[in-house]
C-alpha cells in the first residue's frame, strides 16, 4: 500500500483579501508552495476562499464572478507542476444559478465541482439571498473549456484513497452529506467552511467533527476562513482541524495574523480495517438510498514519500493502552477499577459466593486482583475476612516480595495463610524422578501447578472460588503455566495489559487513605517483574526477571495493541514502533522482540482457547468467547518471515 497506508492531509486557512480574487489566489499558491516539501496528498482550503466569504451582495457582481474564474484558471495552471490535490471554495454560476462550490484541482485540471447541499437561512448572512441549494442529480458542466463533473454526489480518488466533500452547514444538519459519502466509500471527508467564532462554538465544533469522523469511520479535514474576512458583524478565527475515527489528530492555531496550516497523517489501513470489521457500517449502505447515487472520479495520484517521512505528521503513543495526560489516565484507572469491581460483584452474586481465594506473591498482578477483591467485598458489604490471601513461598521467593505480600494483606484486613510449596514440590520431584538441580521448565512449572492446586483446594475448604491474577500481556505471550496460574474460577485481570497494571497499582497507591498501604503498593510497582521460580541471587535479589526472558512489556504491549486492534502486519507495527519507541530501543531490538511476540502469540493460542471468564476493560481482549477467535494450530510462518525480512534490512 502506498506510503504504508498513511494519507497526508493539510487543512489551510489563507489570509483573505475580500473581493480581490487575484490576491486570494496568490495567498493560496503561497501556501501550496510552502507545503510542497511536506509532500501532502491533499490540501483543503476554506469555503469561498477565492473571493472571501463575506462579500455579501458582491456575489451577484459579474466583476467578482469573472475575477473568481480568472483566479481558478491561475490555480489550475499552477497545479500542473504539483503532486498534491487541493480543494478551494468559490462561487460558480451554472445554468443561470449561483452555487457555493468546492472545486477539486489536480495536475492541471479540475477533477470536479461539489456545490453546497444545505444553504442556511438563520445566520447574519442569510446565504439563500445569494446561493442556491445543490441540484438533486449530478451533471457535467463546461468549466475552463473542459467537461467537468458537477454535483453533490461526487467522490474523488486521490491515489488509492476515496475522498468526499461537503461545505460548512452540511456538517451541522441531522444527516450530513458526508454520511452518505462515507457509505458510498469515502475514506477521507473534507469540509470547506467559513465559521465565525462565538463563545463556546469552537469546542462544540471540535466535538461535532470528531464525532462525525467516529460515526463514519473516516478521516475528516476541516478548513475554515480566518484573518482578513470582514469584521462588520462577525469575526473569523481560522479553525483548521483534522480528525480520525473519533480522535483529533491536529488543530491549527486560531487568531493567527495571516495565513496558517496544519498537517496530519491519516491512517487509512486502520480505517479500512475498522470498516471491514464493523458489520453495521455496511448495513447502513444498504439502507441509505442516497449513497447508491455517488460517482467516483480520478483527481491526483497522491504524493510519494520516503519511508522515514510517512509518519512525520502523526503522533504515535509509546504506550497505546496508557493515556499520556494525567487527567485522562486517572479517569481511565477509575473506570477500569469500576469495571473490574462490578464484574466481580456480579460473579459473586450469581454464584452466591461469599469467599474468595487469591494467591498473593507480592507482584503487580496479584496485588491488583487483591485490591479489586477488597473493593468488591466492600461494595457488597461483605467482611474482608471472606477473602483468603495465600502466600506460597518457593525456591525463588525473595524477602522483598514475601514481606510486601504479607504486610499488604495485613493492612487490608483479609484472612491470611502462608504455605511453603518447597516440601511438596521437593516430594514431587522425587516422585517423577526430576533432579532439583536442573532448573528447567519442569522445575518451574511444578511450582506453578503446586500453587494452583493449593488455591483450588483452599477454595473447596472455604466454599469459595479462586480469583485469577494473570493479565492480558501474559495471555498474549503465553507467559503462564498451563493448568497452573493459567487457570482460575474468574480472571479479573484478563483484560488489563501489563503496562496498565503498573499504572493502576500506582493510582491505587495515590488515592488510598492508608498511607502505609500506599507505600507498600509503590514498592510493589517498583519491584522487577518476575515469576520467582528460580533461586535468588547470592545477595537475595530476584534472579529471574521476566523482561530479560520474553522482552520489555512496553514493546510487547505496543505489538499487542496493533495486532489485536487493527490486525497490522509486522512491517507496519515495526514502522509505528520506530516512531513511538525509537528513542528507547534500537531497530534491532524492536525487530528481535517483535519476532518473539509473533512466535509466542501463535504458539500459545491453545492456552487462550480455554481461558476462564474475565471482564473486558478496553478496546481489545483475548477472550475466546468474544474478541479473539483463532485456531490453536494456525501457522505463524508468514508473520515470522516478514519479521526476518526486517532483520535483514
Active site residues: 47, 116, 168
* Contact residues for 186 (Cβ-Cβ < 8 A; gap 6+): 155, 162, 163, 164, 178, 216, 218
* Contact residues for 298 (Cβ-Cβ < 8 A; gap 6+): 111, 156, 157
Question: What 8-state DSSP symbol labels residue 196?
Answer: B
Using DSSP, state whether 468 is helix, strand or coil: strand
SS3 for 115-175, per residue?
A: ECCCCCCCCCCCHHHCCCCCCCCCEEEEECCEEEEECCCEEEEECCEEEEEEEHHHHHCCC
Long-range contacts of 501-507 (CB under 8 A, 24+ apart): 501/364, 501/365, 501/368, 501/471, 502/364, 503/322, 503/329, 503/333, 504/333, 504/336, 504/337, 504/368, 505/364, 505/367, 505/368, 505/371, 507/329, 507/330, 507/333, 507/334
Report the distance separating Cα 281 and Cα 166, nearest Å. 20
Please, are residues 49 and 225 in contact by the beta-carbon 8 Å criterion?
yes
Helix axis angle for 570-581 and 637-647, nearest 10°, is 50
258 phi, psi to nearest 5 deg? 135, -160
DSSP per position, 249-297 = EEEPPSS-SS-EEEEEEEEHHHHHHHHHH-HHHHHHHHH-GGGGG-EEE
CA dihedral over 371, 375, 376, 380, signed as positive or negative: positive
* Contact residues for 109 (Cβ-Cβ < 8 A; gap 6+): 76, 79, 146
As to burial, measured by CB atoms within 10 angstroms (0-12 exposed, 13-18 middle, 19+ buried), residue 50 is: buried
Pairing status of strand 42-44 against strand 295-298: unpaired
Amino acid at each position: 500500500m502506498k506510503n504504508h497506508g498513511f494519507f497526508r492531509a493539510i487543512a489551510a486557512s489563507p489570509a483573505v483579501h475580500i473581493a480581490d480574487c487575484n490576491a486570494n489566489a496568490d495567498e493560496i499558491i503561497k501556501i501550496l508552495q510552502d507545503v510542497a516539501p511536506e509532500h501532502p496528498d491533499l490540501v483543503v482550503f476554506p469555503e469561498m476562499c477565492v473571493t472571501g466569504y463575506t462579500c455579501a451582495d458582491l456575489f451577484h457582481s459579474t466583476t467578482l464572478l469573472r475575477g473568481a474564474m480568472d483566479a481558478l484558471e491561475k490555480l489550475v495552471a499552477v497545479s500542473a507542476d504539483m503532486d498534491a490535490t487541493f480543494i478551494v471554495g468559490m462561487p460558480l454560476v451554472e445554468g443561470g444559478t449561483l452555487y457555493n462550490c468546492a472545486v477539486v484541482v489536480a495536475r492541471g485540471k479540475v477533477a470536479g465541482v461539489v456545490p453546497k447541499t444545505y444553504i442556511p437561512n438563520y445566520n447574519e448572512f442569510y446565504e439563500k439571498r445569494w446561493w442556491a441549494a445543490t441540484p438533486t442529480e449530478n451533471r457535467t458542466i463546461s468549466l475552463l473549456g473542459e467537461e467537468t463533473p458537477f454535483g453533490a454526489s461526487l467522490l474523488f480518488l486521490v491515489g488509492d484513497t476515496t475522498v468526499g466533500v461537503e461545505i460548512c452547514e452540511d456538517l451541522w444538519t441531522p444527516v450530513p452529506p458526508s454520511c452518505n459519502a462515507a457509505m458510498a466509500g469515502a475514506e477521507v471527508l473534507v469540509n470547506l467552511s467559513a465559521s465565525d467564532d462565538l463563545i463556546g462554538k469552537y469546542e462544540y465544533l471540535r466535538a461535532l467533527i470528531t464525532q462525525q469522523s467516529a460515526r463514519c469511520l473516516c478521516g475528516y479535514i476541516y478548513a475554515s476562513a480566518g484573518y482578513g474576512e470582514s469584521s462588520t458583524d462577525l469575526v473569523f478565527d481560522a479553525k483548521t482541524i483534522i480528525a480520525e475515527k473519533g480522535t483529533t489528530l491536529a488543530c491549527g492555531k486560531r487568531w493567527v495574523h495571516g495565513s496558517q496550516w496544519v498537517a496530519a497523517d491519516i491512517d487509512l489501513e486502520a480505517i479500512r480495517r475498522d470498516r471491514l470489521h464493523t458489520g453495521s457500517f455496511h448495513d447502513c449502505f444498504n439502507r441509505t438510498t442516497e449513497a447508491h447515487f455517488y460517482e467516483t472520479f480520478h483527481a491526483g495520484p497522491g504524493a510519494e514519500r520516503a519511508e522515514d517521512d510517512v509518519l512525520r505528521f502523526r503522533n504515535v503513543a509509546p504506550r497505546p493502552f496508557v493515556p499520556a495526560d494525567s487527567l485522562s489516565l486517572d479517569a481511565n484507572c477509575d473506570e477500569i477499577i469500576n469495571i473490574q469491581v462490578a464484574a466481580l460483584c456480579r460473579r459473586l452474586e450469581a454464584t452466591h459466593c461469599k469467599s474468595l481465594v487469591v494467591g498473593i506473591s507480592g507482584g503487580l498482578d496479584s496485588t491488583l486482583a487483591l485490591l479489586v477483591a477488597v473493593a468488591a467485598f466492600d461494595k457488597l458489604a461483605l467482611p474482608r475476612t471472606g477473602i483468603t490471601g495465600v502466600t506460597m513461598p518457593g525456591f525463588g521467593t525473595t524477602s522483598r516480595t514475601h514481606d510486601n505480600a504479607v504486610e499488604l494483606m495485613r493492612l487490608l484486613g483479609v484472612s491470611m495463610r502462608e504455605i511453603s510449596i518447597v516440601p511438596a514440590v521437593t516430594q514431587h520431584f522425587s516422585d517423577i524422578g526430576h533432579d532439583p538441580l536442573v532448573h528447567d521448565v519442569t522445575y518451574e512449572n511444578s511450582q506453578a501447578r503446586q500453587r494452583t492446586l493449593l488455591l483450588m483446594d483452599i477454595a473447596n475448604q472455604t466454599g469459595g472460588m479462586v480469583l485469577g491474577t494473570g493479565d492480558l500481556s501474559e495471555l498474549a505471550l503465553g507467559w503462564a503455566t498451563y493448568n497452573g496460574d493459567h487457570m482460575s474460577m474468574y480472571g479479573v485481570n484478563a483484560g488489563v495489559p501489563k503496562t496498565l497494571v503498573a499504572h493502576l497499582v500506582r493510582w491505587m497507591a495515590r488515592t488510598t487513605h492508608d498511607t502505609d498501604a500506599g507505600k507498600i503498593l509503590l514498592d510493589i510497582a517498583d519491584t522487577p517483574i518476575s515469576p520467582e521460580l528460580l533461586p535468588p541471587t547470592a545477595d537475595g535479589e530476584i534472579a529471574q526477571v521476566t523482561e530479560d526472558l520474553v522482552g520489555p512489556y512496553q514493546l510487547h504491549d505496543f505489538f499487542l495493541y496493533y495486532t489485536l486492534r487493527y490486525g497490522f502486519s509486522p512491517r507496519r507495527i515495526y514502522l509505528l514502533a520506530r516512531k513511538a519507541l525509537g528513542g528507547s530501543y534500537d531497530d534491532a531490538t524492536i525487530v528481535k522482540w517483535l519476532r518473539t511476540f509473533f512466535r509466542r502469540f501463535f504458539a500459545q493460542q491453545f492456552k487462550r482457547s480455554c481461558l476462564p471468564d474475565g471482564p473486558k476493560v478496553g478496546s481489545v481482549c483475548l477472550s475466546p468467547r468474544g474478541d479473539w477467535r483463532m485456531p490453536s494450530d494456525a501457522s505463524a510462518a508468514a508473520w515470522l518471515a516478514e519479521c526476518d525480512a526486517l532483520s535483514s534490512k
